[in-house]
A and B are shown apart, each in its own frame.
Chain A
Amino acid sequence: MLHFVLNDREVKTAANPATTLLDFIRYDANLRGTKIGCREGDCGACTVLLGSVENGEIRYENCTSCLTPLANAHGRHVVTVEGLNMSELNRAQEAMVSHSGTQCGFCTPGFVVSLCGYALNPDTSLSRTAKDAVDGNICRCTGYKSIERAADQLQEELDNLGEAKTVDKLIDKRFIPAYFRDIPQLLAQIERHAFKHRGKQPVGGGTDLYVQKHDEMPFMEVAFPFKHQNGTRIWKEGDRCHMAPLCTASDMMKAPFLNESIPNWYDYMKLVSSNPIRNTGTVAGNLVNASPIGDLTAMLLALNAEITLKDPGDQERTIPLRSFYLDYKKLSKTPEELISRTSFDIPTTGKFNFEKVCKRKYLDIASVNAAALLEEKNGVIFKASFSVGGVSPIPLYLHKTSEYVKGRELTERTILEAAEVLQSEISPISDARGSAEYKRLLASQLFKAHFLNLFPSQIKMSELV
């Protein structure tokens, strides 16, 4: 039995846990404000909020309900646009109306939900604004400028609330309906362990499985092996970062210790998918997906991450991520083994850089992505590790290139020579993300970009052309 709160009421349902939250909302709960746009997490028309109590505090995140298995709603507060309606318009709705941020209106509920989710949890520590909250929402009518103005207005109204944005204050100022006050109490009554479902297909966040097996998932026997886990999903031990299986890209993006240690960390992570997907998709899922173009994979390869694999008998083994990928979508693991932990050394003296080029800068899959971890002293590079995605059947750690660079002087000549080595390590193919010729050129350009960005005073663009 699944048990959660949908807007202002409790839901107990025996519905198929593998069905999407979207279908449940629209056709079981008959709430038609949540729209179907693409069913693959790319448009945001189906955005809802998921509220969870963590460390005694309720936090809301937006997610695309089309890729969320109903089971992942268990124990949480699901908020649709209907759950944000009051007799008057709420602040986000009011801003969208007054700035004409809606035309055909089909994407609008998704925008409103994302904006209200932001109002509930503004991440002021990370200089995020209301505009960033709708990075996963696509609109085909407005050209976004009117929505931007609406988001700016909302931001201003939130800023006017002062530091402590308590639920009471948000209710009082019409950002959210009054029933939000009662939600933590309702959630507290839900037995987190009540839901058990053991099938063959393990599901974490579901953001890739529900794209790849769009039609089949609702008919599959699924398992949610980590659903019972509670507690911290990402933490630091000494200079080492550890991630639990359900650690999401958002967890990684917002981890304070990563943002403190790695300059531009937040901006790099912003290039990965969109808020709702980052909030749902797990890091481990990204790794086992084995996409040659996975962003997190590229980063973690350069950071020399290790993964711990656990079999059903609870036997664990730890291997470097760099030896995990054998061939296209072929992994060094048994079908039963699951990633139970991902760890890496947080760079303290080394410099990290991530580059990604796609047709659209955000919410797109890279044509080529690349990560680098470099350490230089007195003009000599003594530590170097480079990875590159999209140019090989597997996410590629550039062994030869990294070796070549180590111990050499930090000069344009080294970079140009190393780029030649890089070319010998890659084997791109032509596809929808670009021609092989383009990807070859781009891989070298991104390689150069690492140095230009990390050593702007030492390396000159004019010497690299």
Chain B
Amino acid sequence: MINIDAKNHVRGTSIYLDDIQEIHGTLFAQPFCAPVAHAKINRINLEPAMAMEGVVAIFTRSDIPGANQIGGIVPDEPLFAEDEIHFWGQPIGLVVGTSEQICRLARKKIEIDFSELPVVTDPRKAARNDSLIVPPRTFNTGNVEDAWEQCEHIFSGRVEVNGQEHLYIEGQGAYAWPKEDDSIYIASSTQGPTAVQRTAAAVLGLPMHKVEVNVQRLGGGFGGKEDQATAWAVMAALAAKKLQKPVKISLHRMDDMMMTGKRHPYSSDYRIGLSKELKILAYEVTHYQNAGAAADLSPAVLERTLFHSTNAYFVPNVRATAYSCRTNLPPNTAFRGFGGPQGKFIIESAIARAASALKVPADHIQKRNLLSEGDVMPYGQKMTEALAKETWEQCAREFDLEKIRQEINEFNATNPRYKKGLAVQPICFGISFTNTMMNHARALVHVYTDGSVVVSTGAVEMGQGVNTKLLQVAAERFGISSDRVKLESTNTLRIANTSPTAASAGADLNGKALEIACDRILSRLKKAAAEKLNAGEIKLANERVVADGEISDMDWEQLVGLAFSKRISLSEHAHYATPNIHFDKKREKGHPFAYHVYGTAIITAVVDCLTGTYEIDRVKLVHDCGKSMNLPVDNGQIEGGLVQGIGWLTLEELLYDEKGKLLSNALSTYKIPDMYSVPGEITIRHYETEGHELAIKKSKAVGEPPLMYGLGAYFAIRNAVTAFNPSADLAINAPYTPEKVLMDLYKKGGGQEKEAVHEAKQTELY
């Protein structure tokens, strides 16, 4: 089934936040923010701005009736700056006026007098200063100390992996208006309506039942609207409440990029030990996460980095430590993969380094260490229905890995200017919020007397197709045409206390709740039908009642009419909580994930060794969707996620200067993939299984995992560079921009600064 929104999308009739028809008298607002990354505010002069025609009000922290606090996990983030500024772009206040343009001109007239304080942008420096968001955490398994003794080869080094701007094409925004009785309505472009509701209530000093949050759809989220849509919604609500007028905020792109956090940059140290047979015996890693100026979701992101620090490999002895470091960057936040991609990238880098030193293809090491059924991960979960080896085997066989390798070797032998590189990228990604208490959801179903059905859940549609999958669930459950079912907006009055739509879990959690709701209505309908038709077993199929195996005269509409006339409820509100998951943070052990998603990709790149430019030639992958309930939607997530991952590791370069100012602050300086820069070929195969019981309709979560195939792009390019410049010791510092590639191509071999250290006791392979 094609995405149910597609027809409206192509006609331009889908309604996003900025498309809501403005109510008469609507005011517009724009935040004004810190022009420096760390400073003490001495004085703010609003007068010149207030004097402008069209400016209605300017709000700062002193205008907040409730708490000036929007931090979700840790209360460390004010809505408007207090006495100190902690990052460049931190909101200080909100200008409200009769037009957006007036607000934008007015805010330039606000004078902020401040005294600069030292700026820290380096997470390691923050860690040295003991400036941490939360205490560090360590996942331990086996005994790393003892294991080094048994290792034939030990390598250690440092890896840098930069952040990533979400670049949802729809920028952040919100539209709020006052309702009677001191209540407020907020239209928000958020992945987390409940977070907006809870935060707005706290800031406005209202009980949550007076704040209604509605989300129609998002023009892209990718995690960037999980926590970071909240501030704008709360600001709009604050202004609407204070002025008793509708107030709308739409951030311009440069403001959006400057004021919001991104995927976390990581700087990590690893040490990896291998046996003579290339088995990884020990892995030690220390991650320095650049959290930015406030916690936001960083502690949770950090946790997922630890969960995924060994990717799809089984390593018997592991010690993984992670520091969440407070710096003067915007608070970094959720982004598709949520710390997992960084954790995986570090171990892939360690393997790549070991492979270079040992002069073996990295995939020889990768393949020998893939996890198997029954293996216990460092966090204590015993892997069941493990498919790491299976997807690898199918991928290598179906796409003929050895032939690709041979072709590349031949190409490189005869081509002086262009070199090709190959990488194999396995993935294993855990599905569930790692915070167990978030794994529950609710669904509300009404069947109307004409047989039409409306569904509300806590899931937010942002292009991932969750509403399409939910519609399929309801239509199938009731045995009716999908035309009868409508998916409603996500609204906190209809569905309360939601978890954000995140962690790839939206369809699973909300879909399972929806199944329960449908089934309850269904069982009442069946009972009514059974009584009426005097039958034992009732089924619904193709809009008809099937009584004891016989298609009856009663259709869906008649059945609904019958039930209503019998005063049977045609509505249901159901709750679902993922079973069997738990995690003990004291021991750092448990069973945090409902299941895992697996897959393997083969990626090839070609580098122009004269100019340092490159193309990702081909990606061929085998992905584990379980039993896909919607191939167009799932394949769309695979292609889109893959390309986003490739973008992160190749073109997309976040740049802050030493004063903490974002230099890559627009689409002209921050480049995401365009149509020409994506792989020439993407071939997707599915690893066929019966699917997983805990996945909706046995169709596994697909939002995040495919992004991590993109890691292979880095290593494919690296291998091509090595083919041209085999003696150079290459640093691993993602993204691999054409600049870094060219510098590496012409880097002199060996050299002073050793990037990786080979600590082997015996070096016959070296």
Residues of A within 8 A of B (CB): 26, 30, 32-40, 42-43, 45, 80-82, 85, 89, 92-93, 96-98, 100, 102-109, 112, 131, 134-135, 137-148, 211, 214-216, 218-219, 355, 357-365, 367, 431-435, 437-438, 441-442, 445-446, 448-449, 452, 460-462, 464
CA distance A135 to B675 in the complex (A): 7
CA distance A34 to B169 in the complex (A): 13
CA distance A32 to B105 in the complex (A): 24
Q: Are B463 and A103 in contact (CB under 8 A)?
A: yes
A357-B12 in contact given A37-B169, A100-B2, A106-B219 (Cβ < 8 Å): no
Given contact pairs A93-B11, A361-B613, A434-B739, enumerate 6 new A-B contacts (beta carbons under 8 Å): A43-B667, A97-B10, A102-B9, A137-B675, A143-B673, A358-B671
B171 close to chain A: CB less than 8 A = yes
A140 neighbours in B (Cβ, 8 Å): 166-169, 220, 222, 640, 644, 672
Q: Are A43 and B169 in contact (CB under 8 A)?
A: yes
Of all chain A residues, the one with the shortest Cβ separation from B642 is: A143
Interface footprint category on B: 35 or more
B463's contact among A93, A141, A218, by CB below 8 Å, is which? A141
Q: Which of B644, B651, B667 has the most CB of A within 10 A?
A: B667
User: How far does the Cβ of A457 sit from chain B's closest Cβ, in whole Å?
Assistant: 14
Q: Are B19 and A360 in contact (CB under 8 A)?
A: no
Q: Are B463 and A104 in contact (CB under 8 A)?
A: yes
Q: Are B644 and A441 in contact (CB under 8 A)?
A: no
B168's contact among A104, A145, A364, by CB below 8 Å, is which? A104
Q: Which of A103, A105, A112 has the most CB of B within 10 A?
A: A105
Q: Which of B10, B611, B640 has the most CB of A within 10 A?
A: B10
Q: How many A-B pairs with Cβ below 8 Å?
A: 239
A96 neighbours in B (Cβ, 8 Å): 6, 10
Q: Which of A92, A102, A358 has the most CB of B within 10 A?
A: A102
A211 neighbours in B (Cβ, 8 Å): 668
Stretch at the interface among B125-133, B152-160, B377-385, B631-639: B631-639
Q: Are B737 and A38 in contact (CB under 8 A)?
A: no
Of all chain B residues, the one with the shortest Cβ separation from A85 is: B11
A93-B10 in contact given A357-B738, A437-B743 (Cβ < 8 Å): yes
26 contacts between A and B (CB under 8 A): A26-B18, A33-B11, A35-B219, A89-B11, A92-B10, A97-B10, A102-B10, A103-B463, A104-B169, A104-B218, A142-B643, A143-B644, A143-B678, A143-B682, A145-B639, A146-B639, A147-B675, A148-B675, A215-B101, A359-B671, A360-B677, A362-B674, A367-B738, A367-B739, A433-B669, A460-B416
User: How far does the Cβ of A116 sit from chain B's closest Cβ, in whole Å?
Assistant: 11
B8 close to chain A: CB less than 8 A = yes
Q: Are A141 and B674 in contact (CB under 8 A)?
A: no
User: How far does the Cβ of B165 sit from chain A's closest Cβ, in whole Å?
Assistant: 10
SS of A interface (majority): loop
A108-B9 in contact given A360-B651, A361-B677 (Cβ < 8 Å): yes
CA distance A211 to B417 in the complex (A): 38
A435-B651 in contact given A142-B639, A449-B610 (Cβ < 8 Å): no
Of all chain B residues, the one with the shortest Cβ separation from A431 is: B663
Of all chain A residues, the one with the shortest Cβ separation from B256 is: A38
CA distance A34 to B12 in the complex (A): 7
User: How far does the Cβ of B653 sit from chain A's closest Cβ, in whole Å?
Assistant: 7
Within 8 A of A (CB), among B63-108: 101, 104-105, 108
Q: Are A442 and B612 in contact (CB under 8 A)?
A: yes
Of all chain B residues, the one with the shortest Cβ separation from A453 is: B610
A432 neighbours in B (Cβ, 8 Å): 655, 663-664, 669
B484 close to chain A: CB less than 8 A = no
Q: Are B10 and A112 in contact (CB under 8 A)?
A: yes
B399 close to chain A: CB less than 8 A = no
User: How far does the Cβ of B677 sit from chain A's closest Cβ, in whole Å?
Assistant: 5
A92 neighbours in B (Cβ, 8 Å): 10
A438 neighbours in B (Cβ, 8 Å): 739, 742-743
A462-B416 in contact given A36-B18, A103-B3, A445-B742 (Cβ < 8 Å): yes
B583 close to chain A: CB less than 8 A = no
B144 close to chain A: CB less than 8 A = no
A26 neighbours in B (Cβ, 8 Å): 18
CA distance A456 to B182 in the complex (A): 76
Q: Are B169 and A35 in contact (CB under 8 A)?
A: yes
A81 neighbours in B (Cβ, 8 Å): 11-12
Q: Are B738 and A109 in contact (CB under 8 A)?
A: no
A461-B738 in contact given A105-B5, A143-B678 (Cβ < 8 Å): no
* Residue interface bits B535-555, CB-to-A below 8 A is 1, else 0: 000000000000000000000
A452-B169 in contact given A82-B12, A100-B633 (Cβ < 8 Å): no
A216 neighbours in B (Cβ, 8 Å): 105
B532 neighbours in A (Cβ, 8 Å): none
User: How far does the Cβ of A371 sit from chain B's closest Cβ, in whole Å?
Assistant: 15
User: How far does the Cβ of A6 sit from chain B's closest Cβ, in whole Å?
Assistant: 14
A102 neighbours in B (Cβ, 8 Å): 3, 5-6, 9-10
B746 close to chain A: CB less than 8 A = yes
User: How far does the Cβ of A277 sit from chain B's closest Cβ, in whole Å?
Assistant: 11
Q: Are A143 and B169 in contact (CB under 8 A)?
A: no
Q: Are B463 and A446 in contact (CB under 8 A)?
A: no
CA distance A353 to B741 in the complex (A): 23
User: How far does the Cβ of B420 sit from chain A's closest Cβ, in whole Å?
Assistant: 16
B253 neighbours in A (Cβ, 8 Å): 37-40
B417 neighbours in A (Cβ, 8 Å): 452, 461
User: How far does the Cβ of A220 sit from chain B's closest Cβ, in whole Å?
Assistant: 12
A30 neighbours in B (Cβ, 8 Å): 21
CA distance A14 to B682 in the complex (A): 51
Of all chain B residues, the one with the shortest Cβ separation from A96 is: B10
B754 close to chain A: CB less than 8 A = no
A104 neighbours in B (Cβ, 8 Å): 168-170, 217-221, 462-463
User: How far does the Cβ of A388 sit from chain B's closest Cβ, in whole Å?
Assistant: 14
B762 neighbours in A (Cβ, 8 Å): none
User: How far does the Cβ of B11 sit from chain A's closest Cβ, in whole Å?
Assistant: 5
B667's contact among A38, A134, A142, by CB below 8 Å, is which? A38
* Residue interface bits B265-290, CB-to-A below 8 A is 1, else 0: 00000000000000000000000000
CA distance A107 to B169 in the complex (A): 7
Within 8 A of A (CB), among B1-44: 2-3, 5-16, 18-19, 21
A358 neighbours in B (Cβ, 8 Å): 671, 738
A137 neighbours in B (Cβ, 8 Å): 675
User: How far does the Cβ of A128 sit from chain B's closest Cβ, in whole Å?
Assistant: 13
B636 neighbours in A (Cβ, 8 Å): 100, 103, 141-142, 146
Q: Are B10 and A365 in contact (CB under 8 A)?
A: no
* Residue interface bits B718-753, CB-to-A below 8 A is 1, else 0: 000000000000000000011100110010000000
Q: Are A32 and B611 in contact (CB under 8 A)?
A: no
B640's contact among A32, A142, A460, by CB below 8 Å, is which? A142
B465 close to chain A: CB less than 8 A = yes
Of all chain A residues, the one with the shortest Cβ separation from B99 is: A27
A103 neighbours in B (Cβ, 8 Å): 3, 463-465, 636, 640
User: How far does the Cβ of B50 sit from chain A's closest Cβ, in whole Å?
Assistant: 18
CA distance A26 to B636 in the complex (A): 30
Q: Are B675 and A144 in contact (CB under 8 A)?
A: yes
A134 neighbours in B (Cβ, 8 Å): 675
Q: Are A359 and B632 in contact (CB under 8 A)?
A: no
B57 close to chain A: CB less than 8 A = no
Within 8 A of A (CB), among B603-648: 609-613, 632-633, 635-636, 639-644
Q: Are A445 and B610 in contact (CB under 8 A)?
A: yes
B167 neighbours in A (Cβ, 8 Å): 140
Q: Which of B8, B169, B416, B746 has the most CB of A within 10 A?
A: B169
B250's contact among A34, A36, A437, A464, by CB below 8 Å, is which? A36
Q: Are A40 and B640 in contact (CB under 8 A)?
A: no
User: How far does the Cβ of B431 sit from chain A's closest Cβ, in whole Å?
Assistant: 20
Of all chain B residues, the one with the shortest Cβ separation from A45 is: B169
Q: Which 10 A-B pairs have the closest CB atoms?
A: A33-B12, A104-B463, A106-B219, A105-B9, A143-B643, A42-B667, A81-B12, A103-B463, A143-B639, A93-B10
Q: Are B610 and A100 in contact (CB under 8 A)?
A: no
Q: Are B252 and A219 in contact (CB under 8 A)?
A: no
